[in-house]
Amino acid sequence: MREYCGVGGQSLMHFKRLALISHRARFITRQDDSMKYPSGFLLLLAFSHVTWAGCDEVTSQCLVINGGKEHSESCEIAICANMNEYIVDVALENGGTIFMRQDNQSQLIRVNGNPGIFIRPSPEKTGQTCYAMADKNLTYCLPDAVL
């Protein structure tokens, strides 16, 4: 899976590190409820709310719609989120890519490195989230279960 998202200098690795730090800090504070050792609590205070992040990577089957023809192919989906933003980074086995970054003020979608759009799937494709190139000639759909 690609580790660099290329948006604002943020990377999936950055979010994973933040999630790990957050997890370790929560573990330290939970080890001793009497707060004899407040180092974990102080560590939590040292980080802003941005550190409350989490990431996950899954392999799934994605639907590819190209020129009206549909087929499924394997895809690796990385999802990272914190209190301010949500990132989805997908690599399909044919080399296709999807990158979506959404925060409180904006949304960026790239399909194969080009500007992309969110598409509502047809009723027979419920349970999927679809992204397409701006001209709608190529669409990738991800199962909602992994998102």
- What local confidence, expressed as pLDDT, does residue 126 receive? 84
Most confident listed range (14-23, 26-35, 83-92): 83-92
Q: Which residue has the higher pLDDT, 6 or 88?
A: 88
Taking residue 99's Cβ as centre, other Cβ atoms within 10 Å add up to 22
- Provide the β-strand partners of residue 57: 78
How do residues 85-104 score in pLDDT, each as one tens digit? 999 999 999 999 999 999 99
How do residues 7-16 score in pLDDT, each as one tens digit? 444 455 555 4
Secondary structure of residue 110 in the 3-state scheme:
strand
What predicted TM-score, i.e. pTM, was given to this entire model?
0.66
Q: Give me the residue spans of the domains in the chain.
A: 4-51, 54-146
Which residues are CB-contacts of 79 (< 8 A; sequence separation ≥ 6)?
55, 56, 57, 86, 87, 88, 89, 146, 147
Q: What is the mean pLDDT of the chain?
A: 76
d(CA 85, CA 70): 31
Across the range 43-59, mean pLDDT stands at 68
Burial of residue 100 (CB within 10 Å: 0-12, 13-18, 19+) is buried
d(CA 42, CA 81): 23
Which residues are CB-contacts of 67 (< 8 A; sequence separation ≥ 6)?
137, 138
